Amino acid sequence: MQKQRSVAFHTLGCKLNFSETSTLSRLLEHEGFEKKHFDETADIYVINTCSVTDNADKECRHLVRRIQRNTPESLVVITGCYAQLKPQEIASIPGVDLVLGASEKFNIVKHLSELSKGDSAKICSCEIDEVTGFNASFSANDRTRTFLKVQDGCDYTCSFCTIPKARGKSRSDTIANVLENVKELAKTQVKEIVLTGVNLGDFGKGPEGNKKNNEDFLTLLEQLDEVRGIERYRISSIEPNLLTNEIIEFVAKSKKLMPHFHIPLQSGSNTMLAAMRRRYKRELYTERVAFIKQLMPHCSIGVDVIVGFPGETEELFKETFDFLHSLDVSYLHVFTYSEREGTDALNLKPVVPISIRNERNKKLRNLSYMKLQYFTQQHVGKQRKVLFEKYNKDGIMEGYSDNYIRIATPYRKEWANEIVEWVI
Ligand code: SF4
């Protein structure tokens, strides 16, 4: 009898990567592979990389070195965005055996069956324009919440972003398929599904890129709302220009779509938004926030913002700061701009010195802290529904309210994986 091979995964980057790693892991377990923790000895190590994190290459090299040192005979497979963008560079890392680009990631079972430890790494990748298929994925390591990928790729051309080059054109699952996956998840203990994608609001484009399925994000939400057995949905992130009033109205009246939006802004200055090639002006963002708050005063709103983009003078940064200060939002995710090979932003001047980028990051993180305190304070004494996770972390359990306020309380078994009426 053939010995059962073991596999360990490590994920760098976003929720989309986590959901894809989960799916890859399930694919291999289904084929008889034994799943190991990344710190344990395994026959195969798979690293799912990211192109957005600053140190993708450094982290990847570091992990491969560690594997080489501990178990030099193990196979090392690298996949994910960085593998699609820089296959040659990754293949040259000593110890790497296989590089899987975006089109080959989900053919991992076949590739592993043909792989043995050799001298040079094999690259299985194609040009990103040829990547048009869609593979549904969901994470299932935490049985309380799961991240369900319903869309991939992006047709936008933001001047700082490499994601379209790593993930290809915008394409989506069909609503019928999503519903099927959700009905399967409803049979498990999962209580909350977080809808994920690269550009989620662009949902509806079929696997052949621009050919429309004649479906859209609002219709997806309306149909998900009808599925029995799933109590909560969250929208991971949606571009402001794609967040329509109809979507906001639907979320406001739905019992299952949580009052929580994450809306990338990136800058509060119209000059910077134009340089970033974003598809809206700050006035549109203000309108969206106002409409959400008019219908759902308790709604949590998270904002992505980039500091230190080329051309961001002190005055333009102040515009962003003042804009965010005045907006009724709940928290910020602050990113420090960093140069990415192959992006148009590299040609923009003047470059902002790193020390100033870091300073601006700190200022916005402080603002975010204050925003979150203020938002939470507004709800103290009010009753909200909290979904508690099942983990007992040193006697403490944690959960999120419908409007994304994090709650920690002494562990009670009967609350694990349950929605509890809670006074904040
Ligand atoms: S919308 Fe812009 S930032 Fe977001 S993935 Fe597409 S190109 Fe990148």
Question: If pLDDT is split at 50, 70 and 90, which confidence band does 141 have?
Answer: low
Question: If pLDDT is split at 50, 70 and 90, which confidence band does 116 have?
Answer: confident
Both 121 and 176 in one domain: the answer is: no
Both 160 and 197 in one domain: the answer is: yes
Instruction: Give distance in angstroms: CA of 160 to centre of ligand 1.
Output: 8
Q: At what angle do helices 217-224 and 175-186 cross, to 10 degrees?
A: 30
CB of 154 within 6 A of ligand 1: the answer is yes
Q: Which of these ranges, 24-38, 51-65, 157-171, 216-230, has the smallest mean pLDDT? A: 51-65
Q: Specify the 3-state DSSP secondary structure of 28.
A: helix
- For residue 398, is pLDDT > 90? yes
Probe residue for ligand 1, chosen from 154, 159, 167 as the CB with the greatest number of ligand atoms within 8 Å: 154
Mean pLDDT taken over the chain: 92
Instruction: Give distance in angstroms: CA of 251 to centre of ligand 1.
Output: 24
Identity of residue 81:
C
- For residue 108, is pLDDT > 80? yes
- What average pLDDT score do residues 388-410 get? 94
Q: Which of these ranges, 119-123, 195-199, 345-349, has the smallest mean pLDDT? A: 119-123
DSSP annotation of 3 reads P
Question: If pLDDT is split at 50, 70 and 90, which confidence band does 221 have?
Answer: very high
Closest-CA residue, ligand 1 atom 2, reads 158
| Residue 351, in any domain of the structure | no
Report how far residue 176's alpha carbon sits from residue 295's, in angstroms, rounded to the nearest whole number. Answer: 30
CB of 159 within 6 A of ligand 1: the answer is no
- What average pLDDT score do residues 92-117 get? 89
Instruction: Give distance in angstroms: CA of 264 to centre of ligand 1.
Output: 10
- For residue 184, is pLDDT > 70? yes
Instruction: Give distance in angstroms: CA of 27 to centre of ligand 1.
Output: 29
From the CA of 162, give the closest atom in ligand 1.
Answer: 8
Return phi, psi of residue 65, to 5°. -60, -40
CB of 221 within 6 A of ligand 1: the answer is no
* Residue 389 and residue 418 in contact, taking contact as beta carbons nearer than 8 Å: no
- For residue 236, is pLDDT > 90? yes
Probe residue for ligand 1, chosen from 158, 169, 265 as the CB with the greatest number of ligand atoms within 8 Å: 158
Q: How many CB atoms lie within 10 A of CB 404?
A: 21
Structure confidence at residue 82 (pLDDT)? 87
- What average pLDDT score do residues 329-353 get? 95
Here the CATH number for the domain that contains residue 164 is 3.30.750.210
- What average pLDDT score do residues 355-374 get? 98
| Residue 189, in any domain of the structure | yes
Both 146 and 251 in one domain: the answer is: yes
Instruction: Give distance in angstroms: CA of 276 to centre of ligand 1.
Output: 10
Structure confidence at residue 266 (pLDDT)? 98
pLDDT in tens, 128-138: 777 778 888 88
- For residue 41, is pLDDT > 80? yes
Both 104 and 17 in one domain: the answer is: yes
CB of 201 within 6 A of ligand 1: the answer is no
pLDDT in tens, 61-84: 899 999 999 999 999 999 998 889
| Residue 319, in any domain of the structure | no
- What average pLDDT score do residues 18-42 get? 92
- What average pLDDT score do residues 260-266 get? 98
Probe residue for ligand 1, chosen from 163, 167, 239, 266 as the CB with the greatest number of ligand atoms within 8 Å: 163
Instruction: Give distance in angstroms: CA of 4 to centre of ligand 1.
Output: 41
CB of 268 within 6 A of ligand 1: the answer is no
| Residue 284, in any domain of the structure | no
Structure confidence at residue 100 (pLDDT)? 93
CB of 158 within 6 A of ligand 1: the answer is yes
Beta carbons within 8 Å of 41's beta carbon, 6+ residues apart: 6, 70, 71, 74
pLDDT in tens, 279-313: 999 999 999 999 999 999 999 999 999 999 999 99
Instruction: Give distance in angstroms: CA of 263 to centre of ligand 1.
Output: 12
CB of 224 within 6 A of ligand 1: the answer is no
| Residue 311, in any domain of the structure | no
N- to C-terminal Cα distance for the chain? Answer: 57
Structure confidence at residue 130 (pLDDT)? 76
Report how far residue 230's alpha carbon sits from residue 181's, in angstroms, rounded to the nearest whole number. Answer: 12
* Residue 404 and residue 260 in contact, taking contact as beta carbons nearer than 8 Å: yes
Both 122 and 136 in one domain: the answer is: no
- For residue 49, is pLDDT > 60? yes
Here the CATH number for the domain that contains residue 78 is 3.40.50.2300
* Residue 13 and residue 52 in contact, taking contact as beta carbons nearer than 8 Å: yes
- What average pLDDT score do residues 138-163 get? 88
> Residue 142 region, left (φ>0) first, then alpha (ψ -120 to 50), else beta?
beta
| Residue 136, in any domain of the structure | yes
State the residue range of the domain holding 411. Answer: 383-423
Question: If pLDDT is split at 50, 70 and 90, which confidence band does 189 have?
Answer: confident
Identity of residue 406:
R
Instruction: Give distance in angstroms: CA of 163 to centre of ligand 1.
Output: 7
**Number of domain units in the chain:** 3
Share of the chain above pLDDT 90, in %: 76
- What average pLDDT score do residues 180-201 get? 94
- For residue 206, is pLDDT > 90? no
Domain boundary among 239, 258, 277: 258
- What average pLDDT score do residues 100-122 get? 86
- For residue 213, is pLDDT > 70? no
- What average pLDDT score do residues 82-99 get? 90
Both 112 and 209 in one domain: the answer is: no
Closest-CA residue, ligand 1 atom 8, reads 161
Both 102 and 41 in one domain: the answer is: yes
Instruction: Give distance in angstroms: CA of 157 to centre of ligand 1.
Output: 7
Both 80 and 159 in one domain: the answer is: no
Give the DSSP per-residue string, 306-350. EES-TT--HHHHHHHHHHHHHS--SEEEEEE----TT-GGGG-SS
Q: Which of these ranges, 81-95, 227-241, 314-328, 374-388, has the smallest mean pLDDT? A: 81-95
- For residue 211, is pLDDT > 60? no
From the CA of 154, give the closest atom in ligand 1.
Answer: 6
Both 136 and 254 in one domain: the answer is: yes
Domain boundary among 226, 258, 290: 258
Domain boundary among 191, 226, 258: 258
- For residue 53, is pLDDT > 70? no
CB of 199 within 6 A of ligand 1: the answer is yes
Both 121 and 160 in one domain: the answer is: no
CB of 198 within 6 A of ligand 1: the answer is yes
Q: At what angle do helices 282-295 and 245-253 cross, to 10 degrees?
A: 20
Sign of CA dihedral 260, 230, 219, 169: positive
Structure confidence at residue 343 (pLDDT)? 94
| Residue 365, in any domain of the structure | no
Question: If pLDDT is split at 50, 70 and 90, which confidence band does 210 have?
Answer: low
| Residue 393, in any domain of the structure | yes
Give the DSSP per-residue string, 270-315. HHHHHHTT-SS-HHHHHHHHHHHHHH-TT-EEEEEEEES-TT--HH
Beta carbons within 8 Å of 184's beta carbon, 6+ residues apart: none
Report how far residue 375's alpha carbon sits from residue 299's, in angstroms, rounded to the nearest whole number. Answer: 10
Both 21 and 114 in one domain: the answer is: yes
- What average pLDDT score do residues 319-333 get? 98
Give the residue among 230, 229, 247 at the shortest CA–CA distance from 239. Answer: 247
pTM of the model: 0.90
CB of 164 within 6 A of ligand 1: the answer is yes
* Residue 189 and residue 417 in contact, taking contact as beta carbons nearer than 8 Å: yes
Structure confidence at residue 44 (pLDDT)? 95
Instruction: Give distance in angstroms: CA of 198 to centre of ligand 1.
Output: 7
Both 169 and 209 in one domain: the answer is: yes
